[in-house]
Amino acid sequence: MKRRLVVGISGATGIAYGVQVLRFARAAGIETHLVVTPAAQQTRSYETALSARELQTLADVTNKPAEVGAAIASGSFRTTGMIVAPCSVRTLGAIAHGLGDNALTRAADVTLKERRRLVLLVRETPLTLAHLRAMTAVTEMGGIVMPPVPAFYPRPDSIDEIVHHTVARALDLFDIDVPGTPRWGGDSAVPEPSPLVSRNNSLRKASR
């Protein structure tokens, strides 16, 4: 059976994460089933030049948010798991409380009940106690909360590089390999300081 990944995109800033998930999954030969919330469509128009149709073409199958009877909303529909990228706190809360009020949250609920991998790239800061409790609830149910915190050791030169690295690390959680992903080895030499770090160190020494 071809591997399938459910991809949810909800209405938090950072739709680039969801777009990159779809592109990397396709390159890896993974069949993607996409659901995009209305709020995420608004974010798409703010943050990208993609049309709704262009976004759909990045997935193998697209489901409307109102389609709570879609295949992804059934436990008998076998998948590798589900990733929500980005995941708004509204979607986080709905998943944490098992609301299943649209195709995205219902698919996430199914993923949890079938004991499959669920990864949420929650995009919010600062966090309230309600957010933290929702994250705890999802974690206790077996989900993984992975805020897209950028890594700087690869010394990214662009936002695209930051997004690519974060998404590749998220896909690692599904055993989906993205070739060329920078990885830190335990026996690797410590990289030379970046020009900015070197300059700041020189300034500190000069001020002593």
What are the pLDDT digits (tens) for 90-133?
Answer: 999 999 999 999 999 999 999 999 999 999 999 999 999 999 99
The letter for the amino acid at 48 is T
| Residue 189 pLDDT > 60 | no
* Mean pLDDT in residue range 45-62: 97
What pTM did the predictor assign? 0.89
- Per CATH, the number for 4-207 is 3.40.50.1950
| Residue 198 pLDDT > 50 | no
Residues 83 and 6: their CA atoms lie apart, in Å, by 6
pLDDT digits (tens, 9 = 90+) for 135-157: 999 999 999 999 999 999 889 99
Residues 146 and 167: their CA atoms lie apart, in Å, by 10
| Residue 204 pLDDT > 70 | no
Residues 120 and 100: their CA atoms lie apart, in Å, by 15
CA dist 39 → 2, 88, 154, 198 (Å): 31, 10, 32, 43
| Average pLDDT value over all residues in the chain | 91
